[in-house]
């Protein structure tokens, strides 16, 4: 087990509950002798905190562990920045669902964090996706997603026409509201609402979920996680769609653009408390029956 001495704290902005949780957690960590470093964006709304301040990239370089206080969206943003540093990330849930941020901010939060710091944790490696957009063969933008890469109409209400290729092989020409290319991590997010399957986080696979396809035969496709996915926007349609990664990074596209999606070289090192159970999380968050057959 790794030794955690330099602890970074990242929090969702514009949330008093997040600020209160970070204050309580940082006091505990400082009292216990841990070197605690605060993300510069959250530090601006915490005057008098008395801690070292660093940007997220520096946190990745100097921290043994980064704790994210917020919802899954906060952790997604941290994951994209920290994965390249191989820095372990632990989430405290101040959001709604909490598939990734799974420590509760209750009275026992500090005890749960201390157990992790004492080596009582489960480590998972989650892969991310890189998306590169090319126009006339030239790169015009790129972005990374832990959950998904999504082609969608943007502000338009029209269907998108596009060609799909997997590992260089033509799959189909489709008219739809878009396409979700999801990792196992993202299979319980946007892809699930689009009718995609739930995938266990340890799977090395991608799921491609058409969004409201203009056909009855288009279904989600699960492919190898190492597969290269390429989407080519129909050049004759005149529609300017958008590529979004994790719903947080957006790149405008034009007719004829190609989007290549492949697994990122760096993985996220995600930390869970001992006893973490993916199926229990699904039961709780998705409302599955917990009846054991009385």
Q: What is the pLDDT of residues 113-144, one digit of tens each?
A: 999 999 999 999 999 999 999 999 999 999 99
Q: Quick one: which H or E segment has residue 31?
A: helix 16-31
List pLDDT tens digits, range 200-212: 999 999 999 999 9
Lowest mean pLDDT among 45-54, 188-197, 228-237: 45-54
pTM: 0.94
| Residue 204, marked binder | no
pLDDT given for residue 13 in this prediction: 86
Give the pLDDT of residue 266: 96
CA atoms within 13 A on the CB side of 50: 6
Catalytic machinery residues? 72
Rounded to an integer, what distance in angstroms lies between the CA atom of residue 76 and that of residue 189?
Answer: 12
What residues make up the domain containing 51?
Answer: 6-119
Query: Are residues 41 and 58 both part of a single domain?
Result: yes
Average pLDDT over residues 12-40: 94
> Strand 242-245 and strand 148-152: pairing?
antiparallel
Q: Are 108 and 162 part of one and the same domain?
A: no
Same domain assignment for residues 158 and 94? no
283 is in an annotated binding site: no
CATH for 72 = 3.40.50.10330
How distant, in Å, are the alpha carbons of 84, 88, 165, 202 from that of 1?
Answer: 20, 12, 42, 20
Q: Is 72 annotated as a binding residue?
A: yes
Asked if residue 134 and residue 253 are part of one domain, the reply reads yes
Residue finishing a domain among 91, 119, 147: 119
């Amino acid at each position: 087990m790794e030794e955690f001495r330099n602890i970074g704290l990242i929090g969702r902005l514009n949330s008093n509950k997040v600020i209160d949780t970070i204050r309580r957690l940082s006091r505990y960590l400082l009292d216990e002798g841990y070197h605690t470093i605060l993300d510069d964006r959250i530090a601006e709304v915490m005057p008098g905190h008395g801690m070292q301040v660093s940007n997220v990239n520096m946190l990745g370089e100097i921290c043994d562990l980064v704790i994210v206080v917020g919802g899954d969206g906060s952790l997604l943003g941290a994951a994209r920045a920290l994965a390249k540093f191989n820095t372990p990330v632990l989430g405290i849930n101040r959001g709604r669902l909490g598939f990734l941020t799974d420590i509760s901010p209750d009275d026992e939060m500090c005890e749960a964090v201390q157990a992790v710091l004492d080596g009582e944790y489960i480590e998972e490696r989650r892969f991310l996706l890189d998306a590169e957009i090319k126009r006339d063969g030239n790169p015009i933008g790129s972005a990374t997603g832990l959950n998904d890469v999504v082609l969608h109409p943007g502000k338009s209400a029209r269907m998108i026409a596009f060609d799909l290729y997997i590992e260089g092989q033509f799959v189909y020409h489709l008219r739809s509201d878009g396409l979700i290319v999801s990792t196992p991590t993202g299979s319980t997010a946007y892809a699930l609402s689009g009718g995609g399957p739930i995938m266990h986080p340890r799977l090395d696979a991608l799921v491609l979920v058409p969004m409201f396809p203009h056909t009855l035969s288009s279904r989600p496709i699960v492919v190898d996680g190492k597969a290269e996915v390429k989407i080519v926007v129909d050049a004759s349609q005149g529609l300017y769609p958008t590529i979004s990664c994790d719903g947080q990074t957006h790149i405008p596209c034009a007719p004829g653009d190609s989007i290549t999606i492949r697994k990122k070289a760096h993985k996220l090192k995600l930390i869970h408390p001992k006893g973490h159970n993916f199926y229990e999380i699904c039961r709780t968050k998705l409302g599955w029956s917990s009846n054991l057959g009385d």
